[in-house]
Structure 1
Amino acid sequence: MRSPIISQVKSLLLLTIGWSAAMFVKPAPPLIAQTPNIPQPTNAPLELSLLAPNAPKQGVVTANTISQKQLTIPSLWWAREQFGGKLLDNWLAYPSQGNSPPRVDLIVNRQIWSLLDYVERYEFVNSLGSVARDYGYNVRVFNYQQELLATYTCNFNIKPSLCSMDNLDATGKARLSGSTKRL
């Protein structure tokens, strides 16, 4: 039979070894990683009046602004051909104002937008948002009725930039959460 003293010593020894080992174990990182904040999209109004032929542009670039000397920034014409087609009618690229980064307001054809399903809309916003991000611009998507349809906003203070898409509505040809049956 074991003596009670030996059992107590063994227990005390195991406890001491356990506490000693715990001192050398690195604590696990928190389960939720801290991520830098992505700023909210600007609530500045869409300025459709700047699309008029003789309107003073004040540094705003549109789809009709073409420089004869250098690349016009942001250069969205190729992206328009690749991803926009007849959906993207025009854009207004505003310079940086105060602490807010420059932004591009895309103006889409309302009828074509309504025919797209959620995935097609996401693909459009993500593709053009990625191109604009490469130039340091955030993106908002509007129709000519000045309805905000989607945003693509980035935190440009970190590298690589951290971006978020928001306000993308799932209504249209097929809803993401509704029926996917197509006629």
Structure 2
Amino acid sequence: MSRNKLITPQQSLSLTLSLTLAAFSMLPILASRADENIPLPSNAPLELNLLTQPKGSVITANTINPETLTIPSLWWAKETSENKLLDNWIAYPTSKQELARVDLIVNQQIWSLLDYLERYRFVNRLGLTARNFGYNIRVFNYQKEMLATYTCNLDIMPDLCNIQMSNQSKIGLRQTLDKFGN
């Protein structure tokens, strides 16, 4: 006599958890392979003197071309939602040594008021805008501390990108998690 075996709710939950854990255990392998294709952020120092004395093809928030759109165009992002946080930027075109990048300079007082997720959202939004113009970004304060980066490999489709936040930025995540009892 053959009996049909039914799966109990506990067995179903156990099977689902096992499959989920197996899938998550594969993520570091997949992520590490993707990370191999994403360039590291530039380690060039922030040159704040370029804000007042731009040279060559460097572009700042104060650079205006009366005849055409200046690339990258971050003015709209600055004027709409990031007016108090985004203070200025320095854009460097691609060179023999470096990929095109924009160094964003943020207001440290406003940055420190944001939690980790708000900072991440800012970096992601401005990184996407800069990426559309072919640039990576680095986020600094006026003390020349690197707060975050958004770096992409623009040579492959779809673009592979990586956001890195400084340890200082992660303090806000702990505070956010604490609010929810985690």
Shorter-normalised TM-score: what interval? 0.7 to 0.9
CA shift digits 1:112-155 (9 cap, x unpaired): 10000001000100000000000000000000000000000000
SS of aligned partner of 1:163: strand
Residue of structure 2 in register with 1:109 after alignment: 107
Residue of structure 2 in register with 1:179 after alignment: 178
Retained in 1: the 8 A contact 2:120–2:165? no
Shift of the 56–142 alpha-carbon distance from structure 1 to 2, 3 Å rule, reads closer
Residue of structure 2 in register with 1:94 after alignment: 92
Residue of structure 2 in register with 1:37 after alignment: 37
Retained in 1: the 8 A contact 2:54–2:60? no
**More helix as a share of residues:** 2
Instruction: Give the percent of matched residue pairs that are identical in Structure 1 and Structure 2.
Output: 59
Q: Counterparts in 2 of 1:124-163, with a 5 A limit?
A: 124-163=122-161
Alignment RMSD, CA only?
1.9
Residue of structure 1 in register with 2:117 after alignment: 119
Q: Which amino acid aligns with 1:43?
A: N
- In 2, Cα distance between the equivalents of 1:144 and 1:90? 10
Q: Which amino acid aligns with 2:138?
A: R
Give aligned pairs, total: 148
- In 1, Cα distance between the equivalents of 2:50 and 2:132? 24
- In 1, Cα distance between the equivalents of 2:174 and 2:51? 33
* 1:85 CA drift (Å): 1.9
Residue of structure 1 in register with 2:78 after alignment: 80
Residue of structure 2 in register with 1:22 after alignment: none
- In 2, Cα distance between the equivalents of 1:166 and 1:136? 18
Q: Which amino acid aligns with 1:51?
A: L
- Off by >3 Å, runs of 4+ in structure 1: 31-36
Larger radius of gyration: 1
CA shift digits 1:98-118 (9 cap, x unpaired): 153200000000111000000
